[in-house]
Amino acid sequence: MKVRGAAAQMLKRCLCESALDADMLERVAKDIIPDYDLRARTGFPPNIPVQAQTAAARIVDDIVVGDRFLHFIERLARLDSEGFMGRSYRVAGLRELFKGIGAEGYIWDAPTGRFMEDPRIRRTANWGRLSAGEELRFSLLRIDVVKNSRLVKVHGEEAARDAYGDLRGILARCVEHRIDNLVVTRAAA
């Protein structure tokens, strides 16, 4: 997802308003970028505390550059709903962040706790949101036409090509309709 400057600023503001300290922000960042070191990224020595506002700004800039924006928001949503080590954390402005992400063509899928491309707005060939090094489950559909060679000999190559094109269109509409219904059902839940 290409992150606009306004979205990054909104996230920075949300983090500052959430009263999350720099240590908690770094923990969340480490969940997204495993070897993340806030002090190394900001240049603060160990004996000087990092202000939450400085931490928020640096972390947001780093996740935008690292193309981890949606992952970070998903982690914040989990922090907001589940807390951390028995303590509850409320993330201010999460609803506005979700609306902004929705305007970019993504919807929140509550069962998986992830943002997915909204097929009513955009359909790209990137499998929804597949990132390098990430494991996701997905299905492939393969259709085999029995006695294909015989059909081509009897009806001709052009007629067979047209029939297979129609079949491909029918299958694509059926699959997309099912996905649209699944997305709308999950979004309503």
Written as six digits, the tokens of 143 are 């259709």
pTM for the full predicted model = 0.67
**Mean pLDDT calculated for residue range 68-89:** 89
Domain boundaries, the chain: 5-117, 148-188
What is the distance between the alpha carbons of residues 160 and 99, in angstroms, rounded to a whole number?
Answer: 47
Is 68 a residue whose pLDDT tops 60? yes
81: pLDDT strictly greater than 80: yes
- The fraction of the chain above a pLDDT of 90, given in percent, is 34
Contact 23, 39 (CB under 8 A): no
Name 73's Cβ contacts closer than 8 Å, sequence gap at least 6: 11, 97, 98, 101, 115
Residues 6+ apart with CB under 8 A from 123: 117, 176
Of 124, 121, 77, 119, the residue nearest 96 (C-alpha) = 77
Select from 53, 35, 34 the least CA-distant residue to 44: 53
Share of the chain above pLDDT 70, in %: 84
Residue 135 has, within 13 A of its CA and on its CB side, a CA count of 0
Residue 31 has pLDDT above 70, yes or no: yes
